[in-house]
Structure 1
Amino acid sequence: RCYILSNENGKIQLSVRQSRLNPKSNSKVEDVEITCIKDVKKGQLVRGYVKSITPSGVFFGLSTSLLGRILFQNVSPYFVQKHSLYEKYLPEGKLLTAKVLSVNRKEKHTELSLLPEDTGMPSVLPESLGLPRYGAEQEKREADDRKKRQELKLKTKWRRVKSERHHPLSAVRDLYFVIRIAFKIHPSCCPPPCTHFPLLQEAEPKKRKICPADESDSGIEVYYREEEDDDQEEEAAKKKSQIRKPGEAPRLQVSMGFTWDEDMNAVDIPVLNQKEESSESEEEEEDPQSKLKKQTKKEKELEKQKKEKELCKLEAALMDPSRQPQSADDFDRLVLSSPNSSILWLQYMAFHLQATEIEKARAVAERALKTICFREEQEKLNVWVALLNLENMYGTEETLMKVFERAVQYNEPLKVFQHLCDIYANSEKYKQAEELYHTMLKRFRQEKSVWLKYASFLLKQGQTEATHRLLERALKALPTKEHVDVISRFAQLEFRFGDPEHAKALFESTLNTYPKRTDIWSIYMDIMIKHGSQKEVRDIFERVIHLSLAPKKMKFFFKRYLDYEKKFGTAESVLAVKRAALEYVETKSSFADT
């Protein structure tokens, strides 16, 4: 049965929801029906099917008229470069649970998420793929950027040192400092060497600037490089070069004689200061780098701790015997631990069928048939029956017959035939079931169970006359020693599904022919106690206790009669049964004396 939603342009939309098929039933609706964008709320958990995968994300069908989008970063916590991997694990039509992140009612846009922390379900991409997480990828990029920055800094430092070593004015500048300090010459009387060597000044790659001496300074002027060009200083330098010429520069004027005993430690002072300043600056530059390194180490340790905790949780969950498997990996682990258990294989198949992954369910069944040991015949038969059910529900008649033929080859044929008949009957394919029963009667004529199963099938269909004819055929086909048992079984089936009067007639005729069959009397009593009246039951007991049977058998029937009267009768009826038992004992004892 199904409910027709619409019929437009030759397309019929159907629904098999119980709320539509049986609107009066008060059964709980698991998935609330979504008809428009107003039914979707932020933070809501919804179930739907994968419609398509595009470069912009995964489109998720919430209903026939409403689609939602899932960005790739919200599909899985793992970073995937090739989107073809999503097509493998997210086939079109797969049923999934998603969380609503945002709803734009004006544009009718819905953003969803499949992340485990949002839905509480396992990730759609298994952890066994070994994909990196989004956080790990970002940290890797940041670490690469830090390395590149450090390399650039080292290169620039090396270039500066190299340029200073090979500078053409380095030797002249050092001599200039020594002479000024030794003779205590004022800077105005002795200009820098670059004014005396204009050619060298042009060869200098970068311009130098004079730092003004402070009051606390020792009179030594330090020349340093200026990275940014100053337009005003360039104009001033041009004017000076126009006024002064190299030959007109003033000569050195020594105010006192040259002393060789002058302490030269002063010369080393600026150099030492420069080294100290450079070392301090290097330490300042290295401190944040070391801090970054320490931070990354801490982060790595925290990540390791988190991973260890997650692994501990997973191990504890896997060790829990009451835990139900929730993914294909869980089932794989269970199947590896107990490969001969057909229950696990059937649960694995059901897991795929719930997600409408029929091919995967077939593959699991074939894998089970190859894995289960050949000695475990019943376990293999269970898998074959499950595969027959699968093909009956989701396959075609051809695929079902192929599986059936294979099952007959690898198992006892009678069991396979009987299971397929049950499958047909349960799925209301009565015509196929009847045809299969006819073939079974031809192939297994001497099997009593085949006749009884076919009789049960006919009685359930209401074909009582056909059942009577079938009993006659069974008595002709089966050996004589099986006749009494077959008649009693047919009579029991008549009591349950057919005509009780005809069943009584079968029992009466059998007991008249075989009055000493106490097993038939017991069955007849049990059935009459359930379905007959008290008068009929008492009549049967009275007939039995007056039979000439062995004392042990008579004792059994007297006891049953007494129990019945104690339960359903009166005190007088109980006394009557006791008197009858005493009379039987007296007659037997007197007969023994004679």
Structure 2
Amino acid sequence: RCYILSNENGKIQLSLRQSRLNPKSKSKVEDVEITCIKDVKKGQLVRGYVKSITSSGVFFGLSPSLLGRILFQNVSPYFVQKHSLYEKYLPEGKLLTAKVLGVNGKEKHIELSLLPEDTGMPSILPESLGLPRYDAEEEKREADDREKREQLKAKTKRRIRNSESEQVWICCPPSSIHFPLLQETKPKKRKMCPTDESDSGIEVYYREEDDDDPEEEADKKKSKIRKPGEAPRLQVSVGFTWDEDMNTMDIPVLNHKEESSESEEEEDPHSKLKKQTKKEKELEKQKKEKELCKLEAALMDPSRQPQSADDFDRLVLSSPNSSILWLQYMAFHLQATEIEKARAVAERALKTISFREEQEKLNVWVALLNLENMYGTEETLMKVFERAVQYNEPLKVFQHLCDIYANSEKYKQAEELYHTMLKRFRQEKSVWLKYASFLLKQGQTEATHRLLERALKALPTKEHVDVISRFAQLEFRFGDPEHARALFESTLSSYPKRTDIWSIYIDIMIKHGSQKEVRDIFERVVHLSLAPKKMKFLFKRYLDYEKKFGTTESVLAVKRAALEYVETKSSLADI
């Protein structure tokens, strides 16, 4: 059972008050119904519901049509910085008791309070939150204001003391001319000291300062007390003689005038120059524009070589993954013996170049190794080498460092590094061949022969023919040609059908052997029983050689040999 208060716009407002449901009952009404603002009086305790919380306070519903406001300072005795805390402890619809602080009938404003001293209820916010109280905050603010006021007073006193200083006037009776020696603020009082006969008619004026400090006043009184018969002393900052004529006082003024006239004469040409520059502003602008155009054209020229660090910066910005540009940038700094800048460029390149460009990065690492080898120490070189091994394929980095050592004639370090490589990369054919080349260049042929034996033991069998062939080629280039020929012959006797080895042997003999030796090899090859395709290749090579180095008869002889081979093959096919 309920009482309908209103039915407007499809909304029905209901009431469960006993006074509405049973108007005839004489039971005491706990909450008097408030229908309008006239029912609210100052100092009255009312009950209502929390409607909303905004930045201006908590709005409190006293009736369906009447709202009151509670300022945050009247919600709780505690100081709250974050208003979101109120939303936690004052949810919408919460029933509370409040005290009416003020009623404004014209504007229909009702100010309420939830403070414990007003309502007699406990505080909305618990003490366990540890929030500061409003009264403590106010005391703190008052104390801060007091301190600021005292500091301001002290500052003003200091300024007054500093600004106030004694001012002395000297008065000469004959000409009645006064010379202010110290120009300060105007004095408050002037007192004339009694002059004795020995003062020669000079009157001394001084100012008596007013100060609140009793100690300073006492000091002044003591200073004023003089011994009998003692004349007052004049204290001036500049010394002068009493016997000089007054005409001498004009000399510095005249000198000053002369100096000022000279300075004006000196300033005249500057002013003329300024006037000239104003007239020629347009010409200067045109000159600047032409210079800018020249600079732009030079920068746009693709064939222009970079001449400064800024030029290189522009280039590497346009092509950040080009190792050639970075190496040129390093070389530019090295030409100017700027080693640290070259190192910085290399480090910058390693950070800038994309990780996908492995070869470009490796080029920069090799350049940095070269730089440290030439201008750094062994420690710095090893540090860069370790980093390079970490970020690149180790074998390539080892090989490049060996080449760097060999080119810089550091043969001992190179040999040590090769020994390390042979232990670490035993299965790599290129390591054995590179070390063999190094030894042959050093003239160590016997060591090369021993190295070949070690290589054949370490490498798999399928690599043996190729390794022997490569060693033989190195022997032809840097070592003993006879030993190289013996290596080829032994290999071809074991593997006669390897046309690739025959072809390499023929090429080397064409370069290093005689024509008779080359023809002997060709004659041996064309009489082998090989596949027709391979024989065709060998006959063609033989014919090309004879056309180049032989005679018409030798060319015809090769052709006849080729025809005989074809006829024999065809006859065998018919059978």
SS at match of 1:106: coil
SS at match of 1:222: strand
Call closer, same or farther: CA 1:211–1:50 in 2, change over 3 Å.
farther
Call closer, same or farther: CA 1:104–1:445 in 2, change over 3 Å.
farther
Quote the offset at 1:529 in angstroms. Answer: 0.7
Quote the offset at 1:5 in angstroms. Answer: 120
Call closer, same or farther: CA 1:566–1:68 in 2, change over 3 Å.
farther
Q: Per-residue CA shift, 1:475-497, capped at 9, x if unaligned?
A: 11111111111110000000000
Moved more, 352-361 or 65-74: 65-74
Assess if the C-alpha contact under 8 Å between 1:48 and 1:96 holds in 2. Answer: yes
Call closer, same or farther: CA 1:119–1:457 in 2, change over 3 Å.
farther
Call closer, same or farther: CA 1:564–1:160 in 2, change over 3 Å.
closer
Assess if the C-alpha contact under 8 Å between 2:172 and 2:178 holds in 1. Answer: no
Call closer, same or farther: CA 1:155–1:531 in 2, change over 3 Å.
same
SS at match of 1:294: helix
Call closer, same or farther: CA 1:154–1:278 in 2, change over 3 Å.
farther
Q: Per-residue CA shift, 1:445-502, capped at 9, x if unaligned?
A: 1111000000000000000000001011111111111111111000000000000010
Assess if the C-alpha contact under 8 Å between 1:95 and 1:356 holds in 2. Answer: no
Assess if the C-alpha contact under 8 Å between 1:49 and 1:93 holds in 2. Answer: yes
Quote the offset at 1:512 in angstroms. Answer: 0.6
Aligned residue number for residue 189 of structure 2: 207
Assess if the C-alpha contact under 8 Å between 1:94 and 1:357 holds in 2. Answer: no
Aligned residue number for residue 462 of structure 1: 443
Assess if the C-alpha contact under 8 Å between 1:51 and 1:60 holds in 2. Answer: yes
Measure the CA separation in 2 of the matches of 1:256 and 1:84: 72
Assess if the C-alpha contact under 8 Å between 2:77 and 2:134 holds in 1. Answer: yes
Call closer, same or farther: CA 1:204–1:357 in 2, change over 3 Å.
closer
Call closer, same or farther: CA 1:289–1:452 in 2, change over 3 Å.
closer
Moved more, 255-264 or 290-299: 255-264
Aligned residue number for residue 488 of structure 2: 507
Call closer, same or farther: CA 1:303–1:277 in 2, change over 3 Å.
closer
Moved more, 582-591 or 193-202: 193-202
SS at match of 1:13: strand
SS at match of 2:181: helix
Q: Per-residue CA shift, 1:157-190, capped at 9, x if unaligned?
A: 9x999xxxxxxxxxxxxxxxxxxxxxxxxxxx99
Quote the offset at 1:334 in angstroms. Answer: 1.1
Q: Per-residue CA shift, 1:47-91, capped at 9, x if unaligned?
A: 999999999999999999999999999999999999999999999
Measure the CA separation in 2 of the matches of 1:403 and 1:24: 103
Aligned residue number for residue 474 of structure 1: 455
SS at match of 1:585: helix
Q: Per-residue CA shift, 1:307-334, capped at 9, x if unaligned?
A: 2111111110000011111111111111
Assess if the C-alpha contact under 8 Å between 1:49 and 1:62 holds in 2. Answer: yes
Q: Per-residue CA shift, 1:211-244, capped at 9, x if unaligned?
A: 9999999999999999999999999999999999
Assess if the C-alpha contact under 8 Å between 1:196 and 1:246 holds in 2. Answer: no
Quote the offset at 1:521 in angstroms. Answer: 0.4
Moved more, 256-265 or 325-334: 256-265
Assess if the C-alpha contact under 8 Å between 2:199 and 2:231 holds in 1. Answer: no
2:210 is aligned, of 219, 228, 233, to 228
Q: Per-residue CA shift, 1:502-546, capped at 9, x if unaligned?
A: 001110111111110000000000000111111111111111111
Measure the CA separation in 2 of the matches of 1:401 and 1:537: 49
SS at match of 1:202: coil
SS at match of 2:183: helix
Assess if the C-alpha contact under 8 Å between 1:76 and 1:115 holds in 2. Answer: yes
Assess if the C-alpha contact under 8 Å between 2:195 and 2:231 holds in 1. Answer: no
Measure the CA separation in 2 of the matches of 1:571 and 1:354: 60
1:355 is aligned, of 329, 336, 339, to 336
SS at match of 2:58: strand
Measure the CA separation in 2 of the matches of 1:222 and 1:142: 51
Quote the offset at 1:279 in angstroms. Answer: 26
Quote the offset at 1:300 in angstroms. Answer: 2.6
Call closer, same or farther: CA 1:306–1:264 in 2, change over 3 Å.
same
Q: Per-residue CA shift, 1:407-465, capped at 9, x if unaligned?
A: 00011100000000000000000000000000000000111100000000000000000
SS at match of 2:31: coil
Q: Per-residue CA shift, 1:104-123, capped at 9, x if unaligned?
A: 99999999999999999999
Quote the offset at 1:297 in angstroms. Answer: 2.9
Quote the offset at 1:575 in angstroms. Answer: 2.0
Quote the offset at 1:339 in angstroms. Answer: 1.1
Assess if the C-alpha contact under 8 Å between 2:75 and 2:114 holds in 1. Answer: yes
Measure the CA separation in 2 of the matches of 1:32 and 1:571: 139
Call closer, same or farther: CA 1:508–1:256 in 2, change over 3 Å.
closer
Compute the TM-score of the two structures, normalised by the length of structure 2. Answer: 0.53
1:304 aligns with 2:285: yes
Moved more, 264-273 or 472-481: 264-273
Call closer, same or farther: CA 1:241–1:445 in 2, change over 3 Å.
closer
Aligned residue number for residue 522 of structure 1: 503
SS at match of 1:203: coil
Quote the offset at 1:571 in angstroms. Answer: 2.3
Measure the CA separation in 2 of the matches of 1:121 and 1:310: 86
Aligned residue number for residue 150 of structure 1: 150
Gapped runs of 5+ residues in structure 1? 162-188
Quote the offset at 1:368 in angstroms. Answer: 0.9
Assess if the C-alpha contact under 8 Å between 1:213 and 1:221 holds in 2. Answer: yes
Q: Per-residue CA shift, 1:222-270, capped at 9, x if unaligned?
A: 9999999999999999999999999999999999999999999999999
Measure the CA separation in 2 of the matches of 1:556 and 1:21: 122
Alignment RMSD (CA, Å): 35.5
**Structure 1 segment 55-454 matched on structure 2, within 5 A:** 295-454=276-435
Q: Per-residue CA shift, 1:267-308, capped at 9, x if unaligned?
A: 999999999999999x99999999988643333322222221
Assess if the C-alpha contact under 8 Å between 2:173 and 2:202 holds in 1. Answer: no
Quote the offset at 1:6 in angstroms. Answer: 120
Measure the CA separation in 2 of the matches of 1:394 and 1:23: 109
Q: How many residues align?
A: 565
Quote the offset at 1:572 in angstroms. Answer: 2.1
Q: Per-residue CA shift, 1:361-397, capped at 9, x if unaligned?
A: 1111111111111111111111110010000001110
Assess if the C-alpha contact under 8 Å between 1:197 and 1:246 holds in 2. Answer: no
Moved more, 30-39 or 304-313: 30-39
Call closer, same or farther: CA 1:544–1:315 in 2, change over 3 Å.
same
Measure the CA separation in 2 of the matches of 1:99 and 1:523: 113
Call closer, same or farther: CA 1:9–1:233 in 2, change over 3 Å.
same
Measure the CA separation in 1 of the matches of 2:69 and 2:470: 63
Call closer, same or farther: CA 1:379–1:495 in 2, change over 3 Å.
same
Assess if the C-alpha contact under 8 Å between 2:172 and 2:202 holds in 1. Answer: no
Call closer, same or farther: CA 1:54–1:152 in 2, change over 3 Å.
same
Measure the CA separation in 2 of the matches of 1:486 and 1:439: 20
Larger Rg computed on CA atoms:
2
Aligned residue number for residue 165 of structure 2: none
SS at match of 1:196: strand
Could you tell me the percent identity over the aligned residues? 93
Aligned residue number for residue 182 of structure 1: none
Assess if the C-alpha contact under 8 Å between 1:452 and 1:489 holds in 2. Answer: yes
Q: Per-residue CA shift, 1:1-39, capped at 9, x if unaligned?
A: 999999999999999999999999999999999999999
Measure the CA separation in 2 of the matches of 1:25 and 1:431: 120
Call closer, same or farther: CA 1:580–1:327 in 2, change over 3 Å.
same
Measure the CA separation in 1 of the matches of 2:383 and 2:292: 45
Compute the TM-score of the two structures, normalised by the length of structure 1. Answer: 0.52
Call closer, same or farther: CA 1:199–1:63 in 2, change over 3 Å.
same
Call closer, same or farther: CA 1:71–1:328 in 2, change over 3 Å.
farther
Quote the offset at 1:132 in angstroms. Answer: 60
Call closer, same or farther: CA 1:122–1:356 in 2, change over 3 Å.
farther
Measure the CA separation in 2 of the matches of 1:579 and 1:20: 138
Call closer, same or farther: CA 1:248–1:370 in 2, change over 3 Å.
closer
**Structure 1 segment 41-60 matched on structure 2, within 5 A:** none
SS at match of 1:14: strand
Assess if the C-alpha contact under 8 Å between 1:369 and 1:380 holds in 2. Answer: yes
Assess if the C-alpha contact under 8 Å between 1:335 and 1:345 holds in 2. Answer: yes
SS at match of 1:49: strand
Assess if the C-alpha contact under 8 Å between 2:181 and 2:236 holds in 1. Answer: no
Call closer, same or farther: CA 1:101–1:503 in 2, change over 3 Å.
farther
Assess if the C-alpha contact under 8 Å between 1:456 and 1:493 holds in 2. Answer: yes
Measure the CA separation in 1 of the matches of 2:387 and 2:28: 42
Measure the CA separation in 1 of the matches of 2:43 and 2:554: 73
Assess if the C-alpha contact under 8 Å between 1:122 and 1:327 holds in 2. Answer: no
SS at match of 2:177: helix
